Structure 1
Amino acid sequence: MDRILLSRFQPLNRVLVHDVFNTGQNGWMEIMPNFCEAPDFEESPSIMVKHQWPPVMLSTATFRYPGSHGSLSGQYSLKVSTRPVANPYDQPPAPGSLGHAIKRLSFHHLKRKYLQFEMWFAFTAEQDKVDGTGELPGLHEASIRGFGAGWDLQERGNRYFAGVRYLNAVDGTLQKKWQFIYPSSKDDKDWAYGTDGDWCIKGVDPFWFGRRYADGRHDGYKDVVNGYQPLCYNETDCKINWQYLRLLIDTEKREYVEMQCQDKIFDLQRHPIYCVSPYDRIDGLMNPLVWVETDTQRRVFLFVDSVVISQE
Structure 2
Amino acid sequence: MTPELSRFDPLKRILAFDDFDRGFCGWAQHQGNYEGSLDSVLPGYAQMQPPMLSTLPNWDFGSHGGVDGGYVMKIQTLPVAGARSSAVKRLTFRDACPIRLEFYFTFKPEASELTLSESDVRAFGLLFDLQSGDRTPNGERVMPHLRFLNARDGDHVQKWQFKRAVEHAATLSNKTATHDHMADSGWEDLPGGDQKLCYNEIATKVNWHYGRIDIDLATLRVTGFRINDRVHDMGAFAEMRMPAWRNLWCMLNVLFFVETDVDKRAWAAIDSVCLSSAE
- The answer on whether the counterparts of 1:161 and 1:204 sit within 8 Å (CA) in structure 2 is no
Following superposition of structure 1 onto structure 2, how do residues 113-124 of structure 1 map, counting pairs within 5 Å?
114-124=98-108
Following superposition of structure 1 onto structure 2, how do residues 179-258 of structure 1 map, counting pairs within 5 Å?
179-183=161-165, 191-192=167-168, 198-199=170-171, 205-208=180-183, 218-219=185-186, 221-258=187-224
Question: Unmatched 5+ residue regions in structure 1?
Answer: 88-96, 131-137, 186-190, 213-217
Name the amino acid aligned to 1:13: K
Tell me by how many angstroms 1:128 deviates.
0.7
Name the amino acid aligned to 1:198: A
Q: 1:147 aligns with which of 120, 124, 131?
A: 124
Tell me by how many angstroms 1:49 deviates.
4.4
Name the amino acid aligned to 1:5: L
Question: Unmatched 5+ residue regions in structure 2?
Answer: 134-138, 173-177
- Of 99-108 and 152-161, the range deviating more from structure 2: 152-161
- The answer on whether the counterparts of 2:144 and 2:238 sit within 8 Å (CA) in structure 1 is no
What is the aligned partner in structure 1 of residue 28 from structure 2?
Answer: 29
What is the aligned partner in structure 1 of residue 271 from structure 2?
Answer: 305
Q: 1:162 aligns with which of 144, 159, 173?
A: 144
Change (3 A) 1:271 1:50: closer
C-alpha distance in 1 between matches for 2:41 and 2:24: 31
- The answer on whether the counterparts of 1:45 and 1:198 sit within 8 Å (CA) in structure 2 is no
Tell me by how many angstroms 1:270 deviates.
6.5
C-alpha distance in 2 between matches for 1:127 and 1:224: 30
Q: 1:101 aligns with which of 75, 83, 87?
A: 87
Q: TM-score, normalised by structure 2?
A: 0.89
What is the aligned partner in structure 2 of residue 295 from structure 1?
Answer: 261
Q: TM-score, normalised by structure 1?
A: 0.80
Change (3 A) 1:301 1:105: same
What is the aligned partner in structure 2 of residue 14 from structure 1?
Answer: 13
Aligned to 2:74, the other structure's residue is in SS state strand
Q: 2:38 aligns with which of 42, 65, 87?
A: 42
Name the amino acid aligned to 1:176: Q
Computed over aligned residues only, the root mean square deviation of the Cα atoms, in angstroms, reads: 2.3
Following superposition of structure 1 onto structure 2, how do residues 36-115 of structure 1 map, counting pairs within 5 Å?
36-37=35-36, 41-44=37-40, 46=42, 48-87=43-82, 97-109=83-95, 111-112=96-97, 114-115=98-99
C-alpha distance in 2 between matches for 1:3 and 1:298: 37
Tell me by how many angstroms 1:273 deviates.
2.4
What is the aligned partner in structure 2 of residue 175 from structure 1?
Answer: 157
Change (3 A) 1:146 1:34: same
What is the aligned partner in structure 2 of residue 127 from structure 1?
Answer: 111
- The answer on whether the counterparts of 2:130 and 2:141 sit within 8 Å (CA) in structure 1 is yes
C-alpha distance in 1 between matches for 2:201 and 2:218: 44
Aligned to 2:45, the other structure's residue is in SS state coil
Identity of aligned residues (%): 34
Name the amino acid aligned to 1:145: R
Aligned to 2:46, the other structure's residue is in SS state coil
Tell me by how many angstroms 1:3 deviates.
4.7
Name the amino acid aligned to 2:5: L
Over residues 66-90 of structure 1, what are the superposed CA-to-partner deviations in whole Å (9 max), with x where a residue is unaligned?
A: 1111111200000000010014xxx
C-alpha distance in 2 between matches for 1:199 and 1:73: 45
Tell me by how many angstroms 1:198 deviates.
3.3
C-alpha distance in 2 between matches for 1:14 and 1:172: 43
- The answer on whether the counterparts of 2:99 and 2:216 sit within 8 Å (CA) in structure 1 is yes
Over residues 252-309 of structure 1, what are the superposed CA-to-partner deviations in whole Å (9 max), with x where a residue is unaligned?
A: 2332212111011012146442321111222111111100000000101101000011
- Of 244-253 and 293-302, the range deviating more from structure 2: 244-253
Tell me by how many angstroms 1:205 deviates.
4.2
What is the aligned partner in structure 2 of residue 277 from structure 1?
Answer: 243
C-alpha distance in 2 between matches for 1:60 and 1:51: 26
C-alpha distance in 1 between matches for 2:44 and 2:277: 35
